[in-house]
Structure 1
Amino acid sequence: MQVDAVVLNRRSLLGGVAAVAAALPLDARATSVPPGLNALASEKQMRIGSAFAWSRPGADAGSFANPAYARLLIRDCGLLVPENQLKWQATRPAPDRFDFTQFDAMLDWAEANRMAMRGHTLLWHKTQYFPRWLNDYDFGARPVREAERLLTMHIDTVCKRYGTRIGSYDVVNETVDEGSGGLRETSLSRAFGGTEAMLDRAFHTARAAAPHAQLVYNDYMSWEPGGEKHRDGVLRLLEGFRKRGVPVDALGVQSHIEPASDAPAGVLAARQEKPWRAFLDAVTGMGYQLLITEFDVADQHLPGDSATRRRQVADYAGVYLDVMFGYPQLRDVLFWGMCDKYSWLNGFKPRKDGARPSCTAYDDGFRPNPLRDMVADKLRKTTARR
């Protein structure tokens, strides 16, 4: 089948972006600015990064084409990941067509500013995040063969298009059901004859198409109470990968953390740390690396006073990072957005009092939050990776 790569006026989209890329680095690297987070991380052989988005130049968005947001990325990041623009919904409008226009522009900008890029994601295994055509797809008289063809085409197309420009992929995202700990089923996995067979094929295909790349299973299993079944399911999945010789290099720990109350961070952590360490010990004991792939802090259970709330967010995240940074298998830490103004939590977990969530490194005026200062402090104190 012929694959039609759609190009939507790429030249005009990149024209305005090039001007932004050329203008920003000098401004962001002024000598009066203290060391960025990635500069601190690099001293410990680590990297700090963030999700970001595509937009037209000058849009009020968490995009590289928004100069105010781009300055935050340039100041603090050495690694970027697309928030949505490499998912099936964005890149594959039909079974036989791909559209990489927006992601191409994002990757060009990242490279112009000497930042690495992660690929997120080659398969987000949740029905509600499949493109409509895939949920309704007729797999025909030989469904296994057709499902294999569709998945292999997708992974081959993405990985071979970008080659070594992308060094790490979330090959599969969120296939473990958080309620039961079992593997999710979708139209695609049913056509394969089972989710396990589909997952194995995804990773083997990615390894063949991108032999240089780090291959990651990414999920949001929480360190908070209530995540036990989810964690157990992820461990079973990772154990199965090892037994079957599936080429998975690392676990992506999303780290959308959430204090359940305004109790002191140490009190909250005391009942969470032991089972969380046991989980991480089991993962690393199987030889997996770790990444923090989507870091932020939901604050809807914290007080309305903004100064108090920001301090509590930083304190809670600090006890979490104390645990995570203790694992030498962790080298990459990515925020899921750098600025409160553009965080997905504004819509997904809004505060009942209507206040802007304080959940990222910078507030809605692009000023550093205590969370950013805390991360800088932890980076200074952590042990260098070898």
Structure 2
Amino acid sequence: MPLDAVRLDRRRLLAGAATAAATLPLAAQATSVPPGLNALARGRQMRIGSALAWSRPGADAGSFANPAYARLLERDCGLLVPENQLKWQATRPAPDRFDFTQFDAMLGWAEAHRMAMRGHTLLWHKSEYFPRWLVGHDFGATPAREAERLLTTHIDTVCTRYGTRIGSYDVVNETVDEKTGALRETNLSRAFGGTEAMLDHAFHTARAAAPKAQLVYNDYMSWEPGNEAHRAGVLRLLEGFRKRGVPVDALGVQSHIEPVSDAPAGVLAARQEKPWRAFLDAVTGMGYQLLITEFDVADQHLPSDLAVRQRQVADYAGVYLDVMFAYPQLRDVLFWGMCDKYSWLNGFKPRKDGNKPSVTAYDGDFRPTPLRDMVANKLRTVPRS
């Protein structure tokens, strides 16, 4: 066939293919879906993730075993964290017995879907979240020895079991009193001989048991006004770790943020940004990495109108993330759940008007919220230092 005829036939084929494609439904024409949040984050050397729960297959829960929720995780996440299933209450029903059944299933699902898993937490140092047996434990004639045995056994058991399958641990969670900034005392820390000694031991034990893992101190301190004492206490703790040579790699900034009124986000941020940056500068100046470990936006002070409220949630979170994303030490951002339907805030901070909170990346019908769209936009556009 002459070359001109070949070219003519090729043009006709291409034109015919284009015409045929134009007659297809839009869904059939699409060759790809918009990138998920974690895919966008990879371009910034970051990861996006979420908390998840365990449930029986098909249960209506924020679980990998709920197909509707699992699809959100698969779409947007490269990193997961158990909401409750690796805490002492779940894994240690008695001082001499462990149960990892639920967390093993969660980790297996994450690995099957090529998602990393964080360990939360090796010690949640608040008495109200101790297992019942620990609250009333008899530490005997040598309490320091028994306290050390309990803590060491717990950390060694968890870290040895999972090895390099878990790359980051919240070794200690919430040991700074949010009202006073002082270190909390519990029956465990008193038996140990003091909170500071106990915390140091926890991190040294974790480093020995998980030498390749990122070791994190995780806390609830917030950028909103009224949290100054809490932030100061966290800084004192982190400074002490450095002076004593305690192997702490990062600060987990929980980021359960909460606009205190329905004022514009920029107005609220103007009151909060300077002291918050000073706090983060001090943390990173000591050589610590940063993680956003439990991100959501409480909305109980915002208007009833859902569209208005969701927009204000997104705007407020946006000015917060503008600050956080400016720090190259920040690599991981984890939502504390991806769907409003299963958010812990439904029970902990219900709205007075009776409306369901809208605080996460997807609403109760699993549709993306303006908060998710805002995060995607920030990942595309906000410069990294």
C-alpha separation in 2, matches of 1:61 and 1:383: 36
CA distance in 1 between counterparts of 2:275 and 2:51 reads 28
Distance in 1 between residues matched to 2:93 and 2:62, nearest whole Å: 23
Please list, as runs of the form range in 1=range in 2, the aligned pairs for 1:159-170 lying within 5 A after superposition. Answer: 159-170=159-170
Q: In the alignment, what sits opposite 1:381?
A: 381
**Structure 2: which amino acid aligns with 1:168?**
S
Task: Report if aligned partners of 1:45, 1:384 keep a CA contact under 8 Å in 2.
Answer: no
Q: What is the Cα deviation at residue 31 of structure 1?
A: 4.7
**Structure 2 matches for 1:144-293, cutoff 5 A?**
144-293=144-293
Q: Which residue of 2 aligns with 1:15?
A: none
Query: Could you state the TM-score of these two structures normalised by the residue count of structure 2?
Result: 0.92
Q: Does the 8 Å CA contact 2:265/2:315 hold for their aligned counterparts?
A: yes
Superposition map of 1:1-386 within 5 A: 31-383=31-383
What is the match of residue 16 of structure 1? none
**One-letter code aligned to 1:304:** S
For residue 334 of structure 1, give the secondary structure of its aligned residue in structure 2.
strand
Give the SS at the match of 1:276. helix
Kept in 1, the 8 Å contact 2:224–2:272? The answer is yes
Q: Which amino acid is the alignment partner of residue 157 of structure 1?
A: T
Residues of 2 paired with 1:36 and 1:224: CA distance? 30
Tell me how far apart the structure 2 counterparts of residues 119 and 134 of structure 1 sit (CA, whole Å): 21
> Cα offset for 1:160?
0.4
Matched position secondary structure for 1:291: strand
- 1:113-166 per-residue CA deviation (whole Å, 9 max, x = no partner) reads 000000000000000000010010000111101100000000000000000000
Q: Deviations over 1:77-136 (max 9, x none)?
A: 000000000000000000000000000000000000000000000000000000010010
Give the drift of 1:381: 1.4
Indicate how the Cα distance of structure 1 residues 80 and 271 shifts in structure 2: closer, same or farther if over 3 A, else same.
same
Percent of pairs with identical residues: 88
State the partner residue of 1:4: none
The Cα offsets for residues 288-316 of structure 1, whole Å up to 9 and x where unpaired, read as 00000000000000000000000000000
AA partner of residue 350 (structure 1): P
Q: How far does the alpha carbon of each residue in 1:30-56 deviate from its partner, in whole angstroms, 9 at most, with x for none?
A: 955310000000011100000000000
Instruction: Tell me the secondary structure at the aligned position of residue 98 of structure 2.
Output: strand
State the Cα distance separating 1:358 from its structure 2 match: 0.6
Distance in 2 (alpha carbons) for counterparts of 1:310 and 1:180: 33
Tell me the distance in 1 between the aligned counterparts of 2:296 and 2:239: 28
Corresponding position of 1:6: none
CA 1:145–1:38: 2 relative to 1, 3 Å: same
Task: Give the Cα–Cα distance (whole angstroms) in 2 for the partners of residues 128 and 33 of structure 1.
Answer: 45
Structure 2 CA distance, aligned partners of 1:80 and 1:253? 16
Q: CA RMSD in A?
A: 0.9
Contact 1:44–1:382 under 8 Å retained in 2: no
Q: Distance in 2 between matches of 1:280 and 1:372?
A: 24
Q: For 1:363 and 1:347, locate their aligned partners in 2 and report how far apart those are by CA, in whole Å.
A: 16
Q: Distance in 2 between matches of 1:247 and 1:317?
A: 32
Q: How many residues align?
A: 356
Asked if structure 1 preserves the Cα contact closer than 8 Å seen for 2:327 and 2:384, the reply is no
Deviation at 1:382, TM superposition (A): 3.0
The answer as to whether partners of 2:265 and 2:312 remain within 8 angstroms in 1 is: yes
Does the 8 A contact of 2:325 with 2:384 survive in 1? no
Report the residue type matching 2:220 in the other structure.
Answer: Y
Q: Which residue of 1 aligns with 2:26?
A: none
Answer yes or no: is the 8 Å Cα contact 2:52–2:62 preserved in 1: yes
Q: Do the aligned residues in 2 keep the contact of 1:298 with 1:359 (CA within 8 Å)?
A: yes
Q: Which amino acid aligns with 1:294?
A: E
Structure 1 unmatched runs, 5+: 1-29
Q: For residue 100 of structure 2, what is the amino acid of its counterpart?
A: F
